[in-house]
Structure 1
Amino acid sequence: MQPPIKSLLCHHLSQLLLITNKIPQSLFGKQLSPDMFSMGDNAKIAANFALRGYCPLVDRKVVSFDKKGVIKEDIQDTIQRTLEYLDTLPKVTQLDTSRIITDKAGFIEVQLPQIEFIYQYILPNLLFHISLVYGTARAHGVALSKGDFDGYHSYPAGFSFV
């Protein structure tokens, strides 16, 4: 049996919400490099990837709760509303390899069987954008740990491997 997709997406979005709670409002417009999305935009993109991935699995139109802009409360509301919406959708316990899902990946269209769509396209993109939020926050001095990212690791305050 495949892992429950909805709970996997919700776990990562819940961690993103926890991370954004620790980030000061003044940093949400910051970028890791000048040619990249801002931290706030990456958070919203991550939330949208969860919906872009799950809605097609349950034959629902893909929705977005993006309020536009990089205000902390709006970004957190986007994530929270995404979590609440996912909670209303039916659980998917099995992915159908015969069902093809189409989405836009940059300037190309991807057509992938459900299992590849979720595990090779949606999850990597969701985690990529969450990683950019985490990395940008850390680069600007926000005290975050690996536990904030994955919800499992725990280190004492001030601990460092380096």
Structure 2
Amino acid sequence: MQVSIKQLIKNPLSQLFFISQKIPQELFSKQLTQDMFCLGENAKIATNFALRGYCPLVDRTTVTFETGGSQKEDILQTIQKTLNHLNTLPEVTQLDDSKTIADKAGFSVVTLPQPQYIHQYILPNLLFHISMVYAIARSHGVALSKGDYDGYHSYPAAFSFI
């Protein structure tokens, strides 16, 4: 079975766009704790991980569509432009163990074969930062569900397992 690597990256990014639309502007500067990135920065980082992951697979220069701002509109535009750019790139359905990709991870440099780079580095980081957006929004009362996060789950209004 061949898997679309582009879809593995685009699906969570599309959900980030959907979630971000539901979040009030004033929450984009909020953090879970003082030593963590704010919601807007987490959204920008997640969006950039999509391109840091996919562009090297198709031998394209990694670009960013970040405007520099952390306002809701800035974030939504950045995500949308990133999704549009991903749509223009060739499809990848197989990752090559013989090709490595290097990237900066904090103060470290990681050099990994394509499969590990995508599955053990890019996707976990992309999902981590999207999860931070979700967590910050939920901690400030935004009505989001698991369905908003993954696009599949569905629950009736006011449903709770607890």
Same-fold status (TM-score > 0.5):
yes
Aligned counterpart, 1:155: 155
Looking at structure 2, the residues matched to 148 and 113 of structure 1 have their Cα atoms a distance apart, in angstroms, of 32
Aligned counterpart, 1:6: 6
Shift of the 125–2 alpha-carbon distance from structure 1 to 2, 3 Å rule, reads farther
Pairwise CA RMSD of aligned residues?
Answer: 0.6
1:83 aligns with 2:80: no
1:142 aligns with 2:142: yes
Q: Which amino acid aligns with 1:77?
A: Q
TM superposition score normalised by structure 2: 0.99
Q: CA deviation at 1:2?
A: 4.2
State the percentage of identical aligned residues: 68
1:89-104 correspondence runs (5 A): 89-104=89-104
SS at match of 2:126: helix
Aligned counterpart, 2:68: 68
Aligned counterpart, 1:39: 39
Q: CA deviation at 1:70?
A: 1.3
User: CA deviation digits over 1:49-92, x for unaligned, max 9?
Assistant: 00000000000010001111211001000000000000000000
TM superposition score normalised by structure 1: 0.99
SS at match of 1:29: coil
Q: How many residues align?
A: 162
Q: Give 5+ residue unaligned stretches, structure 1.
A: none
Q: Give 5+ residue unaligned stretches, structure 2.
A: none
Q: Which amino acid aligns with 1:107?
A: F
